């Protein structure tokens, strides 16, 4: 069966000492509880190896990067490969976040490369999809997320698709304080699961974790996670404070 997952996305926040301290806090907080979900923190590249060193609760806390390169290795100054990410001890990588699609021109083509390289290196992609406000207002959100899933992932075999975690993140809800209602989230998560079922069959679809992201916080997490097709959250702002992040983890 599919897993419940709460994953933090620190984005471009925290210096290395601040990041190590935050990771230590989350690691310590997890010692005291038995979370009913997998917990992951996705941190800046510069922090990966050091943060991996402070994670002692390895069964409870996973580590991920926020991106990786679309090439294997070589003359790509400033890029970080999937193999490099994996060599730090990380097990996850966020791919196709709307900020990367919007500000760094990521396309379905580059994302297919990133997904393939991540899987080759044993990383679990957390693949993000979601519509912008105008698309929702025009009623196009279903078509938009369908195209993002098809174009980014439907080249995969059923076996490889089974390794993907999806994150539905309506762009209008990211960092805005405006959360999708639990009914809006459930409606589109169920739709996405249907799209997966049409391609790979019901079993693969039922086993795919689909996270919600966008202004998820301790006060709304329980209602969102109670929906049958919402399998957890990808958490930005609220992952930067241990108490808030743990409040969301403990919402399960």
Active site residues: 97, 169
Q: 39 in helix, strand or coil?
A: strand
Where along the sequence are the contacts to ligand PGA (CB under 6 A)? 9, 169, 174-175, 213-216, 234-238
Min dist. Cβ of residue 239 to ligand PGA (A):
7
Is the Cβ of residue 86 or residue 235 nearer to ligand PGA in the bound state? 235
Min dist. Cβ of residue 211 to ligand PGA (A):
9
Is the Cβ of residue 39 or residue 200 nearer to ligand PGA in the bound state? 39
Is the Cβ of residue 200 or residue 212 nearer to ligand PGA in the bound state? 212
Say if CB 93 and CB 68 are below 8 A apart: yes
Min dist. Cβ of residue 36 to ligand PGA (A):
20
Min dist. Cβ of residue 184 to ligand PGA (A):
15
Q: 230 in helix, strand or coil?
A: coil
What is the spatial distance between Cα 46 and Cα 150, in angstroms, rounded to a whole number?
Answer: 32
Min dist. Cβ of residue 6 to ligand PGA (A):
11
Residue 62: closest CA among 7, 3, 119, 121: 7
Say if CB 246 and CB 31 are below 8 A apart: no
Angle subtended by helix axes 16-31 and 242-249, to nearest 10: 40
Q: Which residue is nearest to ligand PGA (CB)?
A: 236
Is the Cβ of residue 60 or residue 100 nearer to ligand PGA in the bound state? 100
The alpha carbon of 131 is separated from its chain's Cα centroid by a whole number of angstroms, namely 16
Is the Cβ of residue 63 or residue 200 nearer to ligand PGA in the bound state? 63
Is the Cβ of residue 94 or residue 200 nearer to ligand PGA in the bound state? 94
DSSP 162: T
Say if CB 43 and CB 77 are below 8 A apart: no
Can you give the C-alpha Rg of the chain in angstroms? 17
Please name the helix (run of DSSP H) or strand (run of DSSP E) that holds residue 238, with its range, or none: none
In sign, the C-alpha dihedral spanning 210, 214, 220, 223 is negative
Min dist. Cβ of residue 66 to ligand PGA (A):
9
Pairing mode of beta strands 38-42, 61-65: parallel
Q: 57 in helix, strand or coil?
A: coil
């Amino acid at each position: 069966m599919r897993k419940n997952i709460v994953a933090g996305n620190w984005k471009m926040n925290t210096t290395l000492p601040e990041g190590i301290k935050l990771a230590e806090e989350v690691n310590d907080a997890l010692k005291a509880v038995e979370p009913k979900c997998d917990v992951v923190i996705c941190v800046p590249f510069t922090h990966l190896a050091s943060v991996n060193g402070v994670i002692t609760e390895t069964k409870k806390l996973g580590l991920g990067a926020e991106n990786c390169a679309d090439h294997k290795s070589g003359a790509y100054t400033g890029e970080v490969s999937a193999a490099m990410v994996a060599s730090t001890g990380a097990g996850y990588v966020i791919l196709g976040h709307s900020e990367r699609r919007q500000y760094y021109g990521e396309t379905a083509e580059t994302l297919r490369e990133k997904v393939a390289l991540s899987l080759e290196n044993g990383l679990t992609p957390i693949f993000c999809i979601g519509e912008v406000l105008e698309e929702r207002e025009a009623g196009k959100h279903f078509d938009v997320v369908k195209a993002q899933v098809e174009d980014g992932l439907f080249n995969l075999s059923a076996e490889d698709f089974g390794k993907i975690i999806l994150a539905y993140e309506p762009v209008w809800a990211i960092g805005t304080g405006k959360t999708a209602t639990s009914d809006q989230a459930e409606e589109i998560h169920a739709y996405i699961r249907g799209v997966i079922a049409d391609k790979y069959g019901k079993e693969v679809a039922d086993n795919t974790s689909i996270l919600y992201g966008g202004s998820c916080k301790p006060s709304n997490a329980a209602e969102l996670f109670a929906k049958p097709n919402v399998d957890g959250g990808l958490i930005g702002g609220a992952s930067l404070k241990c108490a808030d992040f743990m409040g969301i983890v403990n919402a399960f």
